[in-house]
Amino acid sequence: MATYLLTGGTGLIGGAISEKLLENGHDVIILSRDTDKVDSLFNDKVTAINDLQKIPAARQIDIVINLAGAPIADKRWSDKQKQTLRDSRIGLTQQLVVWLRQRSLKPDALISGSAVGWYGDHQTDIVTEHSDYHDDFAHQLCEDWEQAALAATDMGIRVAIVRTGLVVAAGGGFLSKMLLPFKLGLGGPIADGQQYMPWIHLVDIRDLFLFLADNNSANGVFNGTAPNPVTNNEFTKTFASTLNRPAIFRVPACVLKTAMGEMATLLLGGQRAIPEKALATGFTFKYTELRPALEAALNK
């Protein structure tokens, strides 16, 4: 039995990881501003703290999983919102690493979140962990977040970074925002629909984080995406078919740019990201094809 410290432990991925850790008999500590929410969600089965200093110096933390971050697509990217996104990821990760430096008992590993947005828009090019990037705000945000976490390596802590794709789960994430318009038959492709969507089922991204936590040889960057990314056209067609609905209302790029501003790049660009390193390390995906993943998420 190990002790895990999680930031972002009540989010979509963090919540799934926390539940699995509890199921496996591990001790879980969740850092959150809302400890009452944590206690309510997990029926007081985890230790909820709102300050890292509340963890006793003599308490061994075996693994840290760092997932904290304000939702990236909930608000337009004003200067204020951009700073909120940076503070909630980079600022918190820097605080976490400073706290780790102060402790004589170091964790074995830090598994930290990032996103495929690090690569920027690569159109139809295949993207692996060795690919270069196209510079934009999403790249800068992810790069600074990753570097803040990688600073822990000079303490002898093993660090693995997960560049997560679009998480397929009905209970949250991007799919929950698409569900109602598609159920009403109002869904459709975005712009020309040729941009790739690097998706991954919630079960697989949960298990990838835990796999990396357990694998002492796993370090550096891993793409948290399913082996078979699809274009927006393909995703839209499959999602609508799963719901037995049409998908004929294409969303023009100009409408998105007007409505979302700079944030529209998240939908108009794409990454044909492949989990080359995860596969080479021995991770096995449960959902490699989109339709079974959508059916499982929607309980079809």
* 90 bridge partner residues: none
Residue 74 has what DSSP assignment? S
Q: What is the pLDDT of residues 9-52, one digit of tens each?
A: 999 999 999 999 999 999 999 999 999 999 999 999 999 999 99
What number of other Cβ atoms are within 10 A of residue 69's Cβ? 23
Tell me how many degrees the CA angle 229-134-70 measures, rounded to the nearest 5.
75
Domain boundaries of the chain, sorted by first residue: 3-297
pLDDT of residue 177: 87
- Which tokens go with 214? 């357990």
CB 17 within 8 A of CB 209: yes
According to the model, what pLDDT value does residue 300 have? 59
Backbone region of residue 29 per phi and psi (left: phi > 0; alpha: psi in -120 to 50; beta: other values)? beta
Structure tokens at 207: 């298990």
How far, in Å, CA of 153 to CA of 157, rounded?
A: 5
Tokens of 51: 């300050």
pLDDT recorded at residue 277 = 98
d(CA 115, CA 121): 13
What is the C-alpha to C-alpha distance for residues 32 and 68, in angstroms, rounded to an integer? 9
Mean pLDDT in order along the chain per 10 residues (300 residues)? 96 97 98 94 95 96 96 92 96 98 97 97 95 95 98 98 96 88 93 96 98 97 98 97 93 87 90 98 98 91
Model pTM above 0.75:
yes
pLDDT confidence of residue 297: 95
Answer whether 162's CB lies under 8 Å from 210's CB: no
Mapped onto helix, strand or coil, the DSSP state of residue 94 is helix
Nearest partner of 12 among 63, 73, 71, judged by Cα: 71
Q: Which CATH architecture has domain 3-297?
A: 3-Layer(aba) Sandwich (3.40)
Tens-digit pLDDT profile for residues 229-240: 999 999 999 999
Tokens of 99: 């706290």
Q: What is the DSSP letter of 190?
A: B
Q: Is 87:161 a contact under the CB 8 Å cutoff? A: no
Return d(Cα 281, Cα 151) in angstroms, integer. Answer: 23
Nearest to 267 by CA among 178, 147, 154, 141: 178
Residue 136 burial (CB count, 10 A):
15
In 3D, which of 7, 18, 3 has the Cα closest to residue 60?
3
**What is the predicted pLDDT for the residue at 74?**
87
User: Cβ neighbours of residue 207 under 8 Å, at least 6 residues apart?
Assistant: 20, 283, 286
Counting residues of the chain whose pLDDT is more than 70, the rounded percentage is: 100
